Amino acid sequence: MSGLNEDTIRKIITNHSVPLVFRGYVKNWPLCDWSIEKWCSVFGGKEIPFRCLKKDFLSDEPCWERRCSVKNMTFRNFVDCSGSSDEWMYFDYKYIYQWFNGDEELYKDISWKQFGFPDKGAADATLWVGNSGAHTPAHQDTYGINVVTQLYGKKRWILFPPETGGLKPTRVPYEESSVYSELNFYCPNNLDVFNSLTGGRMVELSAGDALLVPRGWWHYVQNIDPLNIALNIWLPHEKDGSTRVSEALIKIFVAQICKDLPQETAKLIVNPNEDDISDTPLSVLFLQLETVANAYLDNRRKLRRAKRQRTREDDPGPVTTEDIDVKPFIEDKANNLENARSITSEELVKLIKQNLEEFANKDRPLCDDEIDGSTTGLCLTKAVIDAFSEANVIDLVKQNLLARLS
């Protein structure tokens, strides 16, 4: 890349406010050259859990995890059936360290050094393996800056700015790390809700490409090819400390609601990775809140002391800034950098229609799991959780809490 080094890349990642594509940036990673046979040998004979759902699923709601079944199979078995299966299958959001150890080849070959983060490696990365149609519902990440590397196959990203209206944010199903959209970008019954969406961007990643998803950007992600493998990392953001306090407050509220509901109803309120929320003692939740609140306040005090110290000095010296103008680097074609391209609402509807044409079956009745995983019956409970979780509400609670703890 012309004029780019690791320090510059790091500044771009931490400052750029629009999704940015690094074409071919990780083609030098050995992982991007691995064949299917190589991947089969790396996974070996271990059985791994795939989240599965019929590809022809048609619904007003997104394909929530509760609607999915889980099937354990070897990577080889997944490859053998991925292209012909009537289900999409996803081994998704899996931290590398939980499935591979430091002596294994996959673990050793992951490094985020060329993105300007030499201290980050496999222990910080998550793995995503799926077939065509496998997807993640539209959502915002509550923490960090998302950097994605595509290792095998093609993946489509549809993104919207944090402030986009019309996406119908919800905290049901609840997951600490995500705010979901109620819109079904996969195969919806109704396309009208997409006509008013503006500010969208779209990118298709191929093996060797990388993508920067700035903090708070909405994203819907879908696999295009029969075999798709990607890695990502969430890099820390300066606002994470404050967000952790907000999330701890929301978690206490959701947990208390779940504790007083029938188990089957409570399960619909949370994603499977939060199933233990009802059993977590309130004292533990308050300890978590106390920990993140004190950490945030301590950091705020340190910043204030540093600022006062600078104002006392006669010659504070040059102020170091991380700001960087990315435009010249994008304009230099040798760098293979590009902002994710803008799409109109008409183009978005066209993409969704392609999904409907390829996958949807309007004549198939829903099976029990698909019906039981719906959140529409929660109605008032869901409305109460979403009302209390609104940013303006939780920010006011947080502000009052921190004032009393200061």
Q: Residue 319 has what pLDDT?
A: 47
Whether the predicted pLDDT of 12 surpasses 70: yes
Query: For residues 205 and 292, what is the distance between their CA atoms, to the nearest angstrom?
Result: 36
Q: Which amino acid is at 83?
A: G
102 pLDDT higher than 70: yes
6-237+326-371 CATH pick, 3.30.450.20, 3.20.20.70, 2.60.120.10, 3.20.20.10: 2.60.120.10
In degrees and rounded to multiples of 5, residue 243 shows phi and psi of: -65, -35
On the CB side of 141, CA atoms within 13 Å amount to 24
pLDDT tens sequence across 253-290: 999 999 989 998 999 999 999 999 999 999 999 999 99
What tokens were used for 166?
């019309």
Is residue 367 predicted with pLDDT exceeding 90?
no
Q: Would the pTM of this model clear 0.85, i.e. be above it?
A: yes
Of residues 132 and 325, more confidently modeled: 132
pLDDT at 362: 72
- Give the pLDDT confidence of 141-197 residue by residue, as tens digits: 999 999 999 999 999 999 999 999 999 999 999 999 999 999 999 999 999 999 999
Residues whose CB falls within 8 Å of the CB of residue 29, separated by 6 or more in sequence, listed in order: 109, 149, 151, 208
Q: What is the mean pLDDT of residues 20-33?
A: 97
Distance linking the first and last C-alpha atoms of the chain: 48
CA distance 185 to 353: 10
The angle formed by the CA atoms of residues 353, 356 and 362, to the nearest 5 degrees, is 135
pLDDT number for residue 328: 92
Please give the average per-residue pLDDT across 63-69, as a whole number.
94
Domain spans, the chain: 6-237+326-371, 241-312+376-405
Cα 157 from Cα 140, distance rounded (Å): 13
Q: Is 168 helix (H, G, I), strand (E, B) or coil?
A: coil
